[in-house]
Structure 1
Amino acid sequence: MKKTKQMIKTLCLTLALGFGVSVEAQTGAALNFDGVNDKVVIGTSATSSLVGNNKVTVEAWVRPTSTVGLGMVVGNYNSPGNSMQFMIRRQNDSWVFWAGPGNNTTYSNTPLTAGSATINVWQHVAGVFNGTVMTLYINGVASATAVTSNTFATATNSLMIGGESASEFFAGDIDEVRIWNVARSQADIQNTRNCEINGSAPNLLANYHFNQGIAAGVNTSVTSAIDDSGNSNTGTLTTMALTGATSNWVSPGGVTSGVSCNGAALNLSNAGPADNVVLPQAISTNSLVGKTKVTVEAWVRPTSLTGLGVIVGNYNTPTNQLQFLLRRDNNAYSFGVGTGVTALYNAVTTAVATATINVWQHVAGVFDGTVISVYINGAFSASVNAISNYTFATTTNSIIIGANGINENYNGDIDEIRIWNTNRSKCEINTFMNCEIPANATNLVANYHFNQGISAGSNAAVTTLNDATSNAFNGTLNTFALAGATSNWVSPGGVVSGFTTALAPVSLTVNANPSLAVCSTNSLSLTGTGANTYTWTGGITNGTAFTPTASNTYTLSGTNTITTCSNSAISNVTVNTTPTVSAVSNSTLICAGQTATLTANGAASYLWNTSATTTAIAVSPTLSTTYTVTGTTNGCVGTTTISQAVSPCTGLQANNNSVSAISVYPNPSTGLFTLDLVGTTDITIVDVLGKVIYIQNLADGKHTINLSNFNNGLYILKAESNGVVKTVRIVKN
């Protein structure tokens, strides 16, 4: 619904002052309640219309000045408490919607919405009961729901606004109270909450604008709240001061007074001459001629399922001039296609009961050059092969909305008609059917939003249906009453007027980060979300672990099988080599307390179980010990262990008896040891296991012993002369 130019009603009181000044007193736009004893009593005439029904919608604009205790907005909860059908109430700082049968206390309520009621702020509150679910909307947004089941019975309690006999009085301002005997959709509520519905509308039981009195003036004679629904459910103001800024008519209200709800659709009636809209011949002759494909879309809300009702098309007299026809066929829909110059045409009809009375439905007919198909609310419904590969030729029949010359006249509302000279896919239909395409689009020939006139208002001058495309294929309204709720511009439409956000076909995501790194020995899983079927390249399964052997780019294709919309995404997987880590010791065997050097290799960085982070570490174990080193390269980890052997070296001990002086040097040595001996000496060298590796009787003097061919480590040299023994530890490294 597009904003109309705001008009502010004022009551002009010209005061004959000495300076000739004219003072305009502002007309009331809302009603203020003092929270003590103010209320508007309406009686039972409105609620009696609900008997036997199980649906209701209650709306109001409210501006509370207190969030303490209970405050009735509108409803017939009263004494006795077993005679309630519905109620909207402020419960402390929550808005709550209640519903019951009207003849017992088995009523239900939506959960508390703590903090939803805001002091001194205008809010739109609506309660909707559809027979099984209660929904509370705050400013057009669903805020709470409850499941219940009721059929309304006769209630003896009066309908009231602002209070009731149980002393639950509302403190603050109330504006635009409406009561409907249907469950209004969220789109309905959003379309009309910011404007006034002038006069009657289908299923509207009561409609209070509160545009009365003088704002904060002396209004002691203005004691009735006028019902603008045409049902004369007038309310009586009770115990209200009607003077000053409290307990009186006030301004501003929740809605700017005089701002009427724009039309959002067009209601067509064949009660008299059949309503119809004739579209320019140029659509047929300029935009379709020579084409072999067409798509026609419309939102429809039929009020009759009897006979045939043209939605849009150029099936007329002569009947051999048909290019396309979208039509309601009793309680089904059909789409027909022909060349436009011969009687060669055929159509597909959906299954019976696909058309639903008083319910908005999106209907699309598609011809792809071979197959004629119909989609209902974006779902495929039926198809048939064309009897010929039609190519559209020039036709003399006009394209008409709502009727033709052979009395196939449509009854009900129509919104959002689009004509394309291509075949739209199921995905494309689903993507854009719930929004408006603002103006132009590729292959879009004509685009009608129906956002014109004043809903159910006086629209005698609004006789042109505007085409939103730059083609300006505007249509001409014929035989419409253009006043009241039928044969006129109406609201709401099939989509929220001005809403242009298309549904994302499929929004695919892969994991939290589509670029991943993995080590060569590790597994990972790639998980796509946003669709309901998934296919990956590389033979992998969505969400299932696998072990990649090389870096690769994997492509995901995801499809929503309901809308047939699909999309793709990629994931770049980098495979890093897991390092092979090794370690060596500079001495395979040491004596307890000696030091060995352990050196790691094969990775970029290291961590030893000693907490050291260097490549080489020095260790001095007293027992044989196993050391662990972890190496890391590009985030990949390899681990190895190394055992350092330790000997206690207690098998041979030094003898302190005096022997010929003996010295061994250098010690440690890389293999060559020099011995200085005094006197002849028996020299024996053993390893730590006691194995003899050298034995000689050496004379007095210097001698060189070569152990270069033996392993690094500890050896014991025993020198014996004249029964005296001396041992020396020597180390080869």
Structure 2
Amino acid sequence: MAKSKKRQEETSSSTKSLQPVLVFDGQDDAVNLGKKPAFKIEKEITLEAWICVTSQKAYAGIVSNIYDTGSTESGYGLLLDGTSGIYFGLKVPSTVIQYLSSGANTIILNQWHHIAGTYDGQEMKLYVDGIEKAKKAIAGNNINYNPENDLLFGMYKDNDEFHAFAGKIAEIRLWKITRTQQEIQDNLSQRLAGNESGLVGYWPLNEGSNNITHDRTSNSNHGTITGASWAQSDLPIAQEQPQGLSEPATAPPNVAPSPSTTPDEQFIPVESSGELSEPATAPPNVAPTPQRSVASGTPTTPNPETAQPIPPVALQGRQMVLVLDDKHQGISAGSGALKLQGNFTIEAWVYPATDTGKQVIFAEGETLFYLEGGKLKFQTPLATEAIASTQTIGPKSWYHVAVIRAGSRPGATKLYINGVHNDNQIAIPAVVSSGNTYLGGHPEVPESRFQGKLLEVRVWRYGRSLSEIEANWLYPLTGRELGLVRYWPLDEKLGTTLYDKTTNQAVGTFSDAVWEEVKIPLKLKLDPQEVLVRSTGLEDYGYWFREIAKQQKTEADPPFRRGRIWA
């Protein structure tokens, strides 16, 4: 018993730090991960989670795909037992569904506990804070999934009832192996890498914002949050930086910034030898997102074998978009979008209808930005091979894709999918020849038609940082943004002409495509603060001071320094 007390003391105090966790209200909050092949574990299984319970309720789901109507039973899960304990539920064909309890008062309310349930085909075991609390012999061939139920966090739900969890949840892990007590104890207070042997699902639940929980394994079975909220809590686990999609940092809406003493020239890109020596920056009164340098030649991505999974994006608005089929010939859109020997960034939102074949997103002459076999690729005429993403993107989902070229060394050209750096770090030579610009295909590249939906194609004359991309990837642009040289929103809604909203006016024309109203990942109706945060193209101090002063409803304009506007 002394050993158990020592283990609990170590768990509760040795590694505590304030970290983002997900909070469930016990009413209707949940995370839904749906039905996925990876969740149908055949026999050996381990479930783990960190929980802080605020009120006890029998059968309140922590992580569960249990279906139990009395006459029909299936699945597995960790649930509350209603007596300050935990249930490990499991259905095998040889018996009715079993609920193994950790015992009364094994969970203390408003205190963090690590819980785990294991099954090896012969015996169920239940652990609290790394200590075995209960076990039961249950022989069975396989876990039963008929009927198959959605995997939920924070709720147990089937066709005739639901039981919601009240409290905080973090660090959910799903294994297709039976972990030993020692293995559970060894890393219950540490974050995982996501590539551990036997791990089929890993949700740290530490994003801190947005409505997506990310699976850090290569299975990328992300979940959608309904109702649950983010909060900071003293979690007894080693801290790491959240890896989800970051929100652009914003200035407080009711505080006007002090005039900067930084020279004007710091915020003006200077061209040298045909390239921009400094990337454009956010307006001086908007706090930038922490930089994860894209313009640097130093690779910032780990080994491709441990690349971060691609997170999904939430759909926010609805509008008419261009739908390309397998009969169109691409969209001709002028020429000269890419500066010879220069750096650049190309961005677009894509919704591929298929993951087969080569599908050109943007092309200029022999320079191609495209999908092939579900992988994102980029190649210039002098490149012996294309730089390619290490992970594939599936059809019938929206993805933000970007290529940033900031030099010719390995790692200086980068590919991003939904804000995640993902490529094989191939060196890409500069663009040395120009040609016609095409969107959605190239008439001189056989079978290169993009099939699906295209949106928001943007070309910049420098290598943007990831924080700069994230600052406006979810908003339409004005066309006057600093360093923007081509911008096709593809939002015309009708006709066969696409307009470039920059001053270059590189108009595109097409045929054999249709317009369709669909849900998109862009936010079309902005609140006043988002209007301020979004880049406007009017990059001078006076504009920003006046706008924030209006929001404060001050009687007089505050003084401001002279700024400069670059087209």
Counting helix residues as a fraction of each chain, which structure ranks higher?
A: 2
Structure (1 or 2) with the larger CA radius of gyration: 1
Shorter-chain TM-score above 0.5: no
Using the size of structure 1 for normalisation, the TM-score is 0.30
The structure richer in strand per residue is 1
Larger relative contact order (C-alpha < 8 A, sep ≥ 6)?
Answer: 2
Give the TM-score normalised by the residue count of structure 2. Answer: 0.38
